[in-house]
Chains A and B, each alone.
Chain A
């Protein structure tokens, strides 16, 4: 596997770990949720890098599912946790 891909994947995983602190610290619910959304984006990027580096096409399908379903949690959050208070 090309070193460029693996190093980039490692950097992205480090970004996820750094984002974990934001989830734990907050301070608001939106901060935590956006960190989780960042994980979704990083996850897609990691999967695409691995797919390219390992020449493994299946990973693109997983990245597709990641990208599609990350939006679901965001919508649920926006409707149920964040904006839903006035209803």
Chain B
């Protein structure tokens, strides 16, 4: 009976905007984070109902899992900062401003609003202009993709588009992620703290059970991506979840990974992607035009390397800084994002 599913869809469509509004309007940050995790779960269900299992997988891993852990850790750090430095800075700044002559003070609120409105309308105009200029595709793209599936080397249409037909876009996306990790690494180091207490029995067991399972599932998702929903990004996200769990539990193994290894893991995907793009040209095709017979193997190779790099990238973004040099081995390094904040550092 489809009536029940109709009600299901209507309910989902009503709850999602309401949830989004409550989350944005919530004055309590912790509640907003919990609402955000719920929003991720419901969004994932909505993507399933829209027949987009690939997006649902990514949303389940990123929206509901990783971002939730990231926000909870960030919230903790904010709370620690709130009582000391942040208020101090703000009070000092206000005092400073009041001592300035009137023409040097910050712009009053109405001026700032008008300026923001002006910039926003310019942006919207440019966006509208770009939309008007974009050529409209002559036909529907679905049948066009379906017609070319035979030469893509994979069975999943999404993977065929992402890694073969529009591989260039994916290459750039992988580079963007790489740049994001580089940006975070150039900003700060993870803070050093001495060994804290060992994780309790519950946490230790959970880590021991979940981490191997997560790594297996990540490999499975990459593998299954060639025939149905899954792929490098989803697999990488699950791999990152394993990394975040290890960082949270603060296990010794993570602290002993040499930073050279991490750097190579970070570079592996983008580098291999770029090299295979160039290799395709040297064989005689265009950029990223794989040889027909072995297209499937090329895609799997690129996806596996990219998944490892995406996993390390996302976990590095969670850790929030570059690892310490291997030389500093005797000083035990802690990479979890919320350890004791020294004055001024990480503000």
Co-complex (A, B): yes
User: Interface residues, chain A, CB within 8 Å of chain B?
Assistant: 1-3, 6-7, 9-10, 13-14, 16-17, 20, 23-24, 26, 29, 32-33, 35-36, 39-40, 43, 46-47, 50, 56-59, 61-62, 64-66, 68-73, 75-81, 84, 87
Does A24 contact B31, Cβ atoms closer than 8 Å? yes
Does B53 contact A72, Cβ atoms closer than 8 Å? no
- Interface residue? B57 (CB, 8 A): yes
The interface residues of chain B, by DSSP majority, are classed as helix
Within 8 A of A (CB), among B261-315: none
Does A36 contact B34, Cβ atoms closer than 8 Å? yes
- 13 cross-chain CB contacts under 8 A: A6-B4, A7-B4, A20-B38, A32-B31, A36-B38, A36-B68, A39-B38, A47-B48, A61-B221, A65-B234, A69-B60, A69-B66, A81-B76
Give B1-18 as 1s and 0s: 1 = Cβ < 8 Å from A's Cβ atoms. Answer: 111110110011001000
Interchain CA distance A79-B41 in the complex, whole Å: 22
Give B22-41 as 1s and 0s: 1 = Cβ < 8 Å from A's Cβ atoms. Answer: 10000000110011011001
Does A58 contact B229, Cβ atoms closer than 8 Å? yes
Interchain CA distance A23-B234 in the complex, whole Å: 28
Interchain CA distance A87-B48 in the complex, whole Å: 41
Does A71 contact B37, Cβ atoms closer than 8 Å? no
Question: Which residue of chain B has the shortest Cβ distance to A63 in the bound complex?
Answer: B60
Chain B residues lying within 8 Å of A70, measured Cβ to Cβ, are 64-65
A76/B64 contact (C-beta < 8 A), A7-B4, A62-B56 known: no
Does B8 contact A73, Cβ atoms closer than 8 Å? no
Interchain CA distance A65-B234 in the complex, whole Å: 9
Interchain CA distance A14-B4 in the complex, whole Å: 12
- Interface residue? B164 (CB, 8 A): no
Does A80 contact B48, Cβ atoms closer than 8 Å? no
- Interface residue? B319 (CB, 8 A): no
Interchain CA distance A77-B240 in the complex, whole Å: 18
Question: Which residue of chain A has the shortest Cβ distance to B15 in the bound complex?
Answer: A17
Q: How far is the CB of A35 from chain B (nearest CB, A)?
A: 7
Q: How far is the CB of A2 from chain B (nearest CB, A)?
A: 8
Does B72 contact A76, Cβ atoms closer than 8 Å? yes
Chain A residues lying within 8 Å of B320, measured Cβ to Cβ, are none
Question: Which residue of chain B has the shortest Cβ distance to A7 in the bound complex?
Answer: B4
Chain A residues lying within 8 Å of B2, measured Cβ to Cβ, are 1, 6
- Interface residue? B248 (CB, 8 A): yes
Does B34 contact A23, Cβ atoms closer than 8 Å? yes
Interchain CA distance A28-B65 in the complex, whole Å: 21
Does B4 contact A40, Cβ atoms closer than 8 Å? no
Q: Which of A3, A16, A84, A87 lies in contact with B1, CB distance below 8 A?
A: A3
Chain B residues lying within 8 Å of A69, measured Cβ to Cβ, are 60-61, 64-66, 238, 241
Does B31 contact A68, Cβ atoms closer than 8 Å? no
Question: Which residue of chain A has the shortest Cβ distance to B65 in the bound complex?
Answer: A69
Q: How far is the CB of A62 from chain B (nearest CB, A)?
A: 5
- Interface residue? B249 (CB, 8 A): yes
